[in-house]
Amino acid sequence: MVRQITKDDMYDAVAPDDFASMIEVDRYGARASAFNKIIAATHDHFWDPLDKKYIDFDEPFDIENTPLIPEDFVPALQTKLVDEHLKGKERTRFINEVARWQLSAILHGEQGALSLSASLVHVLRDQGAQEYAANQAREEARHVTAFSKYIESRWGSPLPCGPTLKNLLTEMVNAPEVYKKIVGMQMLVEGLAMGAFATFFKESNDPVMRHLMQLVMTDEAFHHKFGKIWADRTVPHLTEDEHNIVEDWAAECFQTLLFNLVNPEQMKELYADFGLDWEEVMAAFLEAATDDERRQRMEESTDIFRVLIKTLLNAGIITDRTKDVYATYVNMEELKSEGDVMVGDAIAEEGIVFLQKVNFGKDDTSYSLAQAATAAE
Ligand SMILES: [Fe+2]
Ligand SMILES: [Fe+2]
């Protein structure tokens, strides 16, 4: 028996191969209205990665001489070993290959999100929840196209998925349990993505990358809210035992994602290409962790975890049992006092204003995600 842990009719779920349940006559009469608003809002943020009206991947960028992202966004450069090893053009090439690796990880994550939201359609019984998930699958599909196009324009091809991320994505896509899918993908991976997209948007030196991040965020902000709606309706009703299962799964996913991001083993080939041994880089990371100034800079480069930790905290998924897992990377007390506003929301709102102008010729200068991306009654 698979533990679905849904606690709300809207998330009523069946096994992925139980199609018979989907064509039960009684099922068609039931449709939760909770997702109506976020389904309807999808027209506001429509965009097409193949249409230059929205984004032009042919805009050139001098990748040989200009770093795509600032050095702060490359944790390895905060170590003495890598910092001293790479100078001049080789340093720029390294930064841009790390960016290629990061963007490739995002592309694989987008494919994971596409396959996962499609898989939700097979397990969620409610029609409204299915329509939401199908709609998300369609949006993830345009993200896969958009990141493929961007990577093609800058490097020709993506890098392979690191083993850790590959295993996590595979586990979530194939999991029959809804909580694993929603907590793992909608809350953690989407939360990490919002943090990363916001940082790329603010810090990238490439206007095309910045614009791409903003367009993707106009969709992701809603995906992230779907996870929040699930948590609001489910987490408060969990038994202690169920809560522990969800909390432990979240902590496990978090550690996996963090490991994927900073562990040099995940990008061995990349280091080898620059004459660096990944094990020596690993040792240098550990050394940097004992140096105050370097540690401070490393903390800044892992700041993208802020959004996802905050989501879990606000959803009541992190308690004293697991807070130490996260406390190493962000100041939990500071986070608690920050309230509900999410880092990427303002960027997404600005993106939707742009899309409404392109799509409908609207001249509105404001858009409220807080109003659009909520559960309808
Ligand atoms: Fe996406
Ligand atoms: Fe998404």
* Residue ranges of the chain with per-residue pLDDT less than 70: 1, 291-303, 329, 339-341, 375-377
Ligand 1 being an ion, which residues bring their Cβ within 5 A of it?
110, 113, 140, 143
Task: Give residue 107 CA to ligand 1 midpoint distance, Å.
Answer: 9
In-domain check, residue 298: yes
Task: Give residue 9 CA to ligand 2 midpoint distance, Å.
Answer: 23
Task: Give residue 277 CA to ligand 2 midpoint distance, Å.
Answer: 35
Ligand showing the shortest atom-to-Cα distance for residue 221: 2
Task: Give residue 116 CA to ligand 2 midpoint distance, Å.
Answer: 10
Task: Give residue 239 CA to ligand 1 midpoint distance, Å.
Answer: 32
The per-residue pLDDT for range 100-142, each reduced to its tens digit, is 999 999 999 999 999 999 999 999 998 998 999 999 999 999 9
Which pLDDT score, from 0 to 100, does residue 148 have?
Answer: 98
Full-prediction pTM beyond 0.85? Answer: yes
Provide DSSP, 250-312.
Answer: HHHHHHHHHHHHH-GGGGHHHHHHTT--HHHHHHHHHHHTTSHHHHHHHHHHTTTHHHHHHHH
Ligand showing the shortest atom-to-Cα distance for residue 188: 2
Phi, psi dihedral angles at 13 (to 5 degrees): -130, 155
Which residues face 124 on adjacent strands?
Answer: 13
Which pLDDT score, from 0 to 100, does residue 224 have?
Answer: 79
CA 81/CA 346 separation, integer angstroms: 38
In-domain check, residue 334: yes
Angle subtended at Cα 158 by Cα 78 and Cα 278, rounded to the nearest 5 degrees: 35
Task: Give residue 357 CA to ligand 1 midpoint distance, Å.
Answer: 22
In-domain check, residue 1: no
Which pLDDT score, from 0 to 100, does residue 59 have?
Answer: 96
Helix, strand, coil distribution of the chain in percent, nearest 5: 70, 0, 30
CA 67/CA 36 separation, integer angstroms: 43
In-domain check, residue 377: no
Give residue 307's domain range: 9-372
Task: Give residue 216 CA to ligand 1 midpoint distance, Å.
Answer: 7
Q: What is the CA radius of gyration of the chain?
A: 21
CA-nearest of 78, 72, 70 to 291 is: 78
CA 139/CA 149 separation, integer angstroms: 15
In-domain check, residue 258: yes
Tokens describing residue 54: 């929205």
According to DSSP H, which parts of 156-277 are helical?
163-174, 178-181, 190-203, 207-234, 240-262, 268-273
**Residue length, the chain?**
377
Query: Into how many domains does the chain fold?
Result: 1
In-domain check, residue 324: yes
Task: Give residue 288 CA to ligand 2 midpoint distance, Å.
Answer: 34
Q: Residue 361, CB half-sphere, CA atoms under 13 Å: how many?
A: 0
CATH assignment of the domain containing 234: 1.10.620.20
Q: 17-31 in b/e burial notation, b at 16+ Cβ within 10 A?
A: eeeeebeeeeeeeeb
Task: Give residue 289 CA to ligand 1 midpoint distance, Å.
Answer: 33
In-domain check, residue 129: yes
Task: Give residue 172 CA to ligand 2 midpoint distance, Å.
Answer: 14
Task: Give residue 22 CA to ligand 1 midpoint distance, Å.
Answer: 27
In-domain check, residue 4: no
Which pLDDT score, from 0 to 100, does residue 1 have?
Answer: 57
Tokens describing residue 210: 């910045």
Q: 196-219 in b/e burial notation, b at 16+ Cβ within 10 A?
A: bbbbbbeebebebbbbbbbbbbbb
Tokens 């992701």 locate to: 220
3 state DSSP class of 204: coil
Which pLDDT score, from 0 to 100, does residue 291 have?
Answer: 67
The per-residue pLDDT for range 261-295, each reduced to its tens digit, is 778 888 899 999 999 999 999 898 888 777 666 66
